[in-house]
Structure 1
């Protein structure tokens, strides 16, 4: 599905990514790991076209998307839950969800879009209770639920989450992890950034570790769990 090869990118005169490679297949959960400032969010921004690639390749289903504007990349079937949530503060919960609705991706057995308002309400009942509240009046956990629901309303083939549970209370983190596990069970492809190593080892199929803008390790959960030198060198603060 998604293939990133030797990606290079940066901001102005500062180059952040030098050689990042990863791939996400259909139905896979792949995590992008590394300490703060190593280039994880920059990688996501480059994939989404929010930052131009300076080298390497980004392809979706074998077709290059490098250089396309962000809305065109989203239309190819990628939904983003950005770092910091970035919900629309003056729109209600329901308006936030409707604003991004699209019928471009998965469908149910009847041929209808998989993700509708009703489906998001079932996934996050708390959002239904607050459907008329503006985004600015939600708690951090509720905003993260809304950001995930908003991305799902695009009916993406690939869902990208940048810092899926950062700053959330433990009970909300547990709910988010349960939702992501349910999405995985339904075959949703996911590219995930999060610092909770135990949770990502349980959820992820494969993991990609980056250090100073370069991919330095990749492999499955069992391999990463059995590689304390990788965790100590590249993941622990």
Structure 2
């Protein structure tokens, strides 16, 4: 579905991405791992056309989408749950869900079934929700675009432990339903229980990629590239 080859990008004169490679197949869960400041969010921004690529290639279903506008990326089947959630603060839950909705499997009813807590907050504006509720809403909003691949940047950052557990449970349900997922998160233990493949980046370059079992069996990768 998604193939990223030799991706390069940056801000102004600063080059942040030098050589990013990753792939996500249909129904796969792939993580994007790395220490803070290594280029994970920049990679996602460039994939979605929010930051122009300076080199390399982004392909969706074999089509070159490297310099496509963000709305074309979305129409091609990618849905984004951005870092910091970024729900619409002045819209209520229902309005947030419907704002970017497209016809398909994911309807408001299905999203509320996945996140019952949102059903209890339907009349609340985005700014009135807790951090955990906002993250549920951000995931629900992305699902309402009926993506073939959902991308989550810092999926559980800043959330209370019980809410994190609820988010992981919901993401596992999505995986079981065949959703393809590309995810950034710092909780390696949760990710290794959940993901099929991992991609590790360092200083804007892909330095390791492999199956979940390979990462679990190669502690040196964790110590060298992911340890504090």
Scaled by the length of structure 2, the TM-score of the pair is 0.99
For residues 223 and 66 of structure 1, the distance between their equivalents in structure 2, rounded to whole angstroms, comes to: 30
- Aligned equivalent of 1:36: 36
Corresponding position: 1:12 with 2:3: no
Pair 1:101-2:101 in alignment: yes
Alpha-carbon distance in 1 for matches of 2:96, 2:227: 36
The Cα of 1:99 is off from its aligned counterpart by: 0.1
Q: For residues 67 and 56 of structure 1, what CA distance do their matches in structure 2 show?
A: 10
Query: 1:191 aligns to what?
Result: 182
The one of 148, 151, 163 equivalent to 1:157 is 148
| Counterpart for residue 129 of structure 1 | 120
> Relative to structure 2, which stretch is displaced further, 141-150 or 226-235?
226-235
Q: Give ranges in structure 1 of 5+ residues lacking alignment.
A: 104-112
Q: Secondary structure at the match of 1:53?
A: coil
Computed over aligned residues only, the root mean square deviation of the Cα atoms, in angstroms, reads: 0.5
Instruction: Indicate the residue corresponding to 1:176 in structure 2.
Output: 167
Distance in 2 (alpha carbons) for counterparts of 1:96 and 1:173: 22
Residue 140 of structure 1, CA deviation: 0.2
Paired with 1:114 and 1:61, the residues of 2 have a C-alpha distance of 20
Deviation at 1:144, TM superposition (A): 0.2
- Deviation, 1:220, is 1.1
SS in structure 1 at match of 2:54 = strand
- Alpha-carbon displacement from aligned partner over 1:144-167 (angstroms, at most 9, x marks no partner): 000000000000000000000011
Q: Which runs of 4+ in 1 moved over 2 A?
A: none
TM-score, L = length of structure 1: 0.95
Matches of residues 1-237 of structure 1 in structure 2 within 5 Å? 1-103=1-103, 113-237=104-228
Alignment gaps of 5+ in structure 2? none
* Cα distance in 1 between the residues matched to 2:106 and 2:212: 29
Distance 2:95 2:54 in 1: 36
Give the CA deviation at 1:125: 0.7
CA–CA distance in structure 1, aligned partners of residues 117 and 80 of structure 2? 21
Report deviation, 1:66: 1.0
The number of residue pairs the alignment matches comes to: 228
Q: Distance in 1 between matches of 2:188 and 2:120?
A: 32
